[in-house]
Amino acid sequence: MENATRFNTKAKPTWCPGCGNFGIQNAIKKALLSLDLQPHEVAISSGIGCSGKIPHWINVYGFHGLHGRTLPVATGLKLANHKLVVIAEGGDGDGYSEGMGHFIHACRRNVDMTYIVHNNGVYGLTTGQVSPTGDRGFASSTTPHGAIEWPLQPLALAISAGANFVARGFSGDSERLGKLISEGIQHRGFSFIDVLQVCVSFNPSKSYKWYQQRVGNLEDEGHDPTDRTKALEAVFRDDGRLPIGVFYRGSEPAHEEGLPQLAAEPLVKHDITDVDIRPLMEEQV
Amino acid sequence: MTTNELSFIVGGAAGLGIKTAGLIFARLCSRAGWHVYGNVEYPSIIRGDHNSYQVMVSEKRVFGHIRALNILLALDDLSIELHKDEIRPGGAVIYDVNKSKADRGELEEQEVLLVGLPFQSMIKEVGGGQRLLNTVGVGATMGLLHFDFDAIAVTLEDTFARHGESVLKQNLDVARRAYDAAAEGFADRFDVTLQRRDAPKRMLLTGNEALAMGAIKAGVKFYAGYPMTPSSSILNYMAAREREYGLVVKHAEDEISAVGMALGAAFAGLRSMTATSGGGFCLMCEFVGLAGMTETPLVIVESQRPGPSTGLPTRTEQGDLKFVLSASQDEFPRIVIAPGDPEESFRLTFEAFNLAEKYQTPVIILMDKHLSESTWTYEPFNCAGMTIDRGELLDESALASMKEYRRYALTESGISPMVHPGTPGGVFCATSDEHDERGDICEEENVRSRMVEKRLRKIKSLDVSECGWRLHGDSDADLMIVGWGSTTSAIHGAMDLLAEDGTRISFLQVIYMNPFPSEQVADVLTKARRAVVVENNATAQLADVIRENTGIKIDDAILKYSGRQWLVDELADQIRRRL
């Protein structure tokens, strides 16, 4: 289909003007167009929060579920119909707080899907509480004297948990983010993309300008994404820069490759009209 | 003398293979044409303490145990201590003379035959270890009963062949030695023998095995779970057969993930299931509501065990009925079904998948440890007439002829035709937020009210007037027992026992807890002379559910909440006191 607007919806997003989610929404559409996909070939699962609403505004099959629970739903969806391109969307509160357990296990399970986390360091939809990636000292309604906890480092967690595609993008550069998402979709296995995102309403000090002064392209620095140790070094470097791009890319087989049940066709295509259970009954005799 | 009934128990420390011994005995009897009921009792530990497996064998259908053992196979002295008072005069205790230090004077006074055999020496003679102890015991038991040894050999082969030839040979050799020693040294002083009976071929199976078979018959293609007694055996069963039946089974990181994966697979268009116990179901609750809100077909098994909290992890209780009926926030339709035996577990699980897809809502199957893990004998299930109904589902060509597809279209029945992701022309977004007919988030008052009504309207067309309940016996009997779930078994047993005294009892079994067969239950209860509920809980939850649905208050209740199911004679005694 030539129609470049096929992923647009009639409904209009309700995000704040200037929200970083617009950039992520654009990037996903660009990625889907670049891969020549049709709306019915894609499914997006999401959690709850500002990020969670995104499947309503991209014209693909969507499942806007529960806070923190996008990954289990996406996993079931993908294994049920592995011909679908499956994207899981989460927020930093949603995915790194409530849904952290699922994140670690999704990394090691390596089901072929792309997990995009909208990371702005703050809870938007509940009006500005600090998130797990919020800076130490960040004052918010739940941390009026400043956050005491350390922010967690999602890229390092993903790498150490066994993820085979670990990347960081920036919502203010949807061109490059779209390419990253497209690479993530093409990667066979679990692809994780943490997206630095501006929250104009509740974390305005980290503005577009603030990020633009700090982001830089990893690739331009000659980073070798096949080296896990170097990838961790890049995550933890402390020079005030925020590199974006692919930090780590491994080549472990996707989860689906361990499931011969999926070899012939997706499970949804299996005929279930008359399953013969006589052998099961014979086993019990 | 040949017997028409035999009660056997094997006891010993956890780790000695007590359950295996009990199951081998049960299978031997089942294969020899006997009806069997067996149940395992074990603490939540892996080694030590006391495990037991008790088997009731009869020429008639068996519904439970009575407190009168014919044979105690004691693999340690604690088993003698705990079960000696349950042995009937003329019964036997089989024990290891090499090891036992138990005082057996009392047993001799009770005219119990003491079958002391050198188990340890026999094990040494075949060059094996303690893993053979349960086989020695079973061999001795069968020798005492003059059971056909060739049949024993076949069953031992089925059980141990997968462990390799030398293990199998040791088991066969040691069983033979124990068999001969018991047959030659003691059988002439024991007046019960167990011979093959002419009977149709029967399965020996647990409620969980039957339930899993029902799910596979229904075409379950995705199963996710997290181990939790007494639901774990469903996960194990499914995993062992995933390749043979082309389904995907996932051991998830927790119950939330298990139900989430199952829901994702169901949304994609698969028949999908998860199972857990009460604690795991607590974690799943938010997803139950999500399935209700997004109208996703999902089958969840909740096999109850005593609580609250960890409670008694390996024992039985029916304490979660009201919890399951109201789990998750706010109001949405759910179907809750409580099978009473393995055959009902099989048929109702099959049906659960049809209902989930027809009504696009969660279906919960309520089991408990007693039903999940005990074994009963059944002839192979007749599958004639079991047909798959996938509900209102649109494909590409149906969509092509529509002007606009609205996933949550307001229809008279409340049921809106579904589309599976991947179908061209049907793109929509499901959401946990309130939504309009298209699935877009919507907070308008009018839309909200119409959607609440639409969802609740869906199961109004589910007619449970026939399938929702069963009346066993005559409604004008002296007393009507009202019960549900696994207690069904002991109630049937008690009815048989009481019938021997000429006492006529009827039994109203409630199967559908939601929607509830209100009119029919009210009608039957109104006609009953007297009614009493029998439940494995402390507050008579079914009585509350009946009152809520019919306005009828049942004042009398026979309740047990010790974590154990009823013995048949124990329940019969309680019922007698009401007459």
Cα-flanking dihedrals φ and ψ of residue B181, to 5°? -65, -40
Asked whether the predicted pLDDT for residue A2 surpasses 70, the reply is no
Closest A-chain CA to B261: A76
Is A105 near chain B, with CB under 8 Å?
Answer: yes
User: Which candidate from B203, B388, B425 shows the least CB-CB separation from A284?
Assistant: B203
**Residues of B with CB below 8 A from A260's CB?**
243
Nearest chain A Cα distance for residue B509, angstroms: 27
What is the model's pLDDT at position B476? 84
> Distance, in angstroms, between A277 CA and closest chain B CA?
6
Fold annotation for B469-576: Rossmann fold (3.40.50)
Task: Single out the residue of A190, A199, A172, A169 nearest to residue A181, CA to CA.
Answer: A169
pLDDT digits (tens, 9 = 90+) for A79-98: 999 999 999 999 999 999 99
Nearest CA in chain A to B380: A281
The length of chain B, given as a count of residues:
579
The topology under which CATH files domain B205-378 is: Rossmann fold (3.40.50)
- Residue of chain A minimizing CA distance to B376: A284
A55 CB within 8 Å of a chain B CB: yes
Q: Which two tokens stand for residue B169?
A: 């040979």
In chain A, the N- to C-terminal Cα span, in Å, equals 57
Structure tokens at A124: 């938007």
Is B535:B483 a contact under the CB 8 Å cutoff? yes
> Would B205-378 and B469-576 be classified into the same CATH topology?
yes
CA angle A224, A225, A228 (to 5 degrees): 105
Partners of residue A41 in chain B, C-beta under 8 Å: 422
Q: Taking CA atoms, what residue in A is nearest to B224?
A: A76
Query: Six-digit token pair at B495?
Result: 């009815």
Q: Residue B22 and residue B36: Cα distance in Å, rounded?
A: 11
Q: Are A218 and A38 in contact (CB under 8 A)?
A: no
Q: Which residues of B touch A279 (CB under 8 A)?
A: 244
Flag if B263 and A76 touch (Cβ within 8 Å). yes
Q: 3-class SS at B415? A: coil
Three-state DSSP at A261 gives helix
If one counts every other C-beta atom within 10 angstroms of the C-beta of residue B556, the result is: 14
The Cα–Cα gap between A216 and B314 comes to 57
ipTM for the predicted complex? 0.98
Model confidence pLDDT, tens digit, residues A58-75: 999 999 999 999 999 999
pLDDT of residue B537: 98
Residue B116 β-bridge partners:
B95
* Alpha-carbon distance A53 to nearest alpha carbon in chain B (angstroms): 9
Cβ partners under 8 Å of residue B138, min gap 6:
B10, B21, B24, B25, B28, B73, B152, B175, B178
For the cut 70, the answer to whether the pLDDT of residue A1 exceeds it is: no
How confident is the model over A216-221, as a mean pLDDT?
93
What is the CB neighbour count within 10 angstroms for residue B465? 12
Q: A62 CA to chain B: closest CA distance, Å?
A: 4
CB contact under 8 A, A76 and B431: no
Report residue A211's pLDDT band, with 50, 70 and 90 as the boundaries.
Answer: very high
**Closest to B199 in 3D by CA, of B21, B319, B57:** B57
Question: What would the DSSP string read from start to end of A71-121?
Answer: HHHHHHHHHH-TTSEEEEEEEHHIIIIITHHHHHHHHHH--SEEEEEEE-S
DSSP reduced 3-state for B209:
helix
Asked if residue B269 lies in contact with residue B193, where contact means CB atoms within 8 angstroms, the answer is no
**Measured between alpha carbons, how far is A219 from A217 in angstroms, rounded to an integer?**
5
Query: In chain A, which among 224-263 make CB contacts under 8 A with chain B?
Result: 259-262
Q: State in words which class domain B5-189 has.
A: alpha beta
Size of interface A-B (CB pairs under 8 A): 197
Of B246, B254, B441, the CB nearest to A261: B246
3-state class (DSSP) for residue B364? strand
Contact B222 A66 (CB under 8 A): no
CA angle A219, A220, A222 (to 5 degrees): 65
Residues of A within 8 A of B255 (CB-CB) are none
What whole-number distance in Å separates Cα of residue B496 and Cα of residue A254?
58
Is B269's CB within 8 Å of A275's CB?
no
Question: How far away is chain B from the Cα of A205, in angstroms, using its nearest Cα?
Answer: 31
Contact call for B221 and A76, based on CB within 8 A: no
**Domain chopping of chain B, boundaries:** 5-189, 205-378, 469-576
Please work out, in degrees rounded to the nearest 5, the angle formed at the alpha carbon of residue A266 by the alpha carbons of A264 and A269: 95
3-state helix, strand, coil in chain A (%, to 5): 35, 20, 45
Rounded Cα distance between B301 and B316, Å, is 15
Distance CA B541, CA B321 (A): 7
Rounded alpha-carbon distances, angstroms, from residue B321 to A175, A283, B305, B531, B547: 55, 33, 12, 20, 14
Question: Domains in chain A and their CATH numbers?
Answer: 20-283 (3.40.50.970)
Q: What is the pLDDT of residues B245-275, one digit of tens each?
A: 999 999 999 999 999 999 999 999 999 999 9
Least confident of A2-6, A214-218, A221-225, B90-94: A2-6
- Per-residue pLDDT tens digits of chain B, which is 579 residues long: 567 899 999 999 998 999 999 999 999 999 999 999 999 998 888 888 899 999 999 999 999 999 999 999 999 999 999 999 999 999 999 999 999 999 888 898 989 999 999 999 999 999 999 999 999 999 999 999 999 999 999 999 999 999 999 999 999 999 999 999 999 999 999 989 999 999 999 999 999 999 999 999 999 999 999 999 999 999 999 999 999 999 999 999 999 999 999 999 999 999 999 999 999 999 999 999 999 999 999 999 999 999 999 999 999 999 999 999 999 999 999 999 999 999 999 999 999 999 999 999 999 999 999 999 999 999 999 999 999 999 999 999 999 999 999 999 999 999 999 999 999 999 999 999 999 999 999 999 999 999 999 999 999 999 999 999 999 998 889 999 999 999 999 999 999 999 998 999 999 999 999 999 999 999 999 999 999 999 999 999 999 999 999 999 999 999 999 999 999 999 999 999 998
**Using CA atoms, how far apart are residues A187 and A170, in angstroms rounded to an integer?**
20
Strand B69-74 and strand B87-96: the pairing is: parallel
Amino acid at A61: Y
C-alpha distances (whole Å) from B496 to each of A23, B2, B370 are 73, 22, 20
Beta strands B35-41 and B375-378 are antiparallel
Q: Which pLDDT score, from 0 to 100, does residue B185 have?
A: 96
Q: Which of B353, B366, B289 is nearest to B322 (CA)?
A: B366
- Is residue A3 very low, low, confident or very high in pLDDT (cuts 50, 70, 90)? confident
Whether A89 and A167 have beta carbons less than 8 Å apart is answered as no
Q: Which residues of B touch A97 (CB under 8 A)?
A: none
Give me the pLDDT at residue B2, please.
63
pLDDT of residue B1: 56
Which of A267, A270, A273, A283 to probe by mutation at the B interface, max B CB count within 10 Å?
A267
Q: Across the interface, which of A40, A260, A277 has its CB nearest the CB of B422?
A: A40
Residues 6+ apart with CB under 8 A from B566: B64, B487, B490, B494, B534, B536, B560
Q: Do B424 and A284 touch (CB under 8 A)?
A: no
